[in-house]
Amino acid sequence: RICNGAVDNASGVAMLIEAAGRLAQGPRPARDILVLATTSEEKGLLGAEYFATHPPVPLPSIVAAINMDTVAVAPEGEPVAILNRSVPALDEQVAITAASLGRRMDSAHEADSMTQRQDGWALTRHGVPAIMVGGSFASMARLNAFLEGRYHRPSDQADGQIEMGGAVEDANLLVALVRRLADPAIYAGPQRSAE
């Protein structure tokens, strides 16, 4: 049985590659940007946990981590949801970025119920502010329909049921947000206690 995983998570990997290419263009940001694709999220966040315990840079130097997963679920025009709202300054940057792109923020906060199921949670546990953002998590009813239908099944194919409009909006959000966070004049980063 072949499960191609077009939405979960080829859509997230495609967005990662697209965003990395776009971020590599233009002036070099003040902060380095690390791009990472992890594995085994469903097996206990194994890839993200490995990164968190074997980082190529000191974890305190990472000012934010943004996880993208299952991005091709929401149509164009959906509000932006944040999973793991825990750093107000980071949440504020998401809201500013979304507004600059003509998008509104999700006010229901239902997406937080998924926080511990996504790769960013492994980094959060190790002190790195990590969020997941996008339109796919703004409607839990729509997301649950995907999870109860095509998720991890052969029917998760690249066909007419993939929502490219929302995926494009989320890619634009990711690139703009990362550019903001890479500028210390815009985002100072988290206030960490002395160890």
56-67 pLDDT, tens digit each:
999 999 999 999
15 versus 1: which is more confidently predicted?
A: 15
Q: What is the pLDDT of residues 34-78, one digit of tens each?
A: 999 887 777 777 879 999 999 999 999 999 999 988 888 899 999
For residue 9, say if its preceding peptide bond is cis, omega within 30 degrees of 0.
Answer: yes
- Sign of the dihedral defined by the CA atoms of residues 19, 128, 109, 112, in that order: positive
Look at 151 and 123; give whichever has higher pLDDT. 123
Q: What is the pLDDT of residue 193?
A: 58
Confidence grade of residue 3 (pLDDT, cut at 50, 70, 90): confident
Q: Which fold has domain 6-181?
A: Aminopeptidase (3.40.630)
- Mean predicted lDDT score pLDDT of the chain: 89
Weakest-pLDDT range from 60-64, 114-118, 138-142, 164-168: 114-118
Q: Are 191 and 64 in contact (CB under 8 A)?
A: no
Confidence bin at 152 (pLDDT 50/70/90)? confident
Q: What residues does each domain of the chain span?
A: 6-181
Average pLDDT over residues 151-172: 86
DSSP strand E in the chain: where? Answer: 65-67, 81-83, 130-134
Contact by Cβ (8 Å): 149, 155: yes
> What CA–CA distance (Å, rounded) separates 151 from 70?
10
Q: Rounded to two decimals, what is the model's pTM?
A: 0.92
Q: Please give the average per-residue pLDDT across 143-168, as a whole number.
A: 84
pLDDT at 90: 94
% pLDDT > 70, the chain = 97
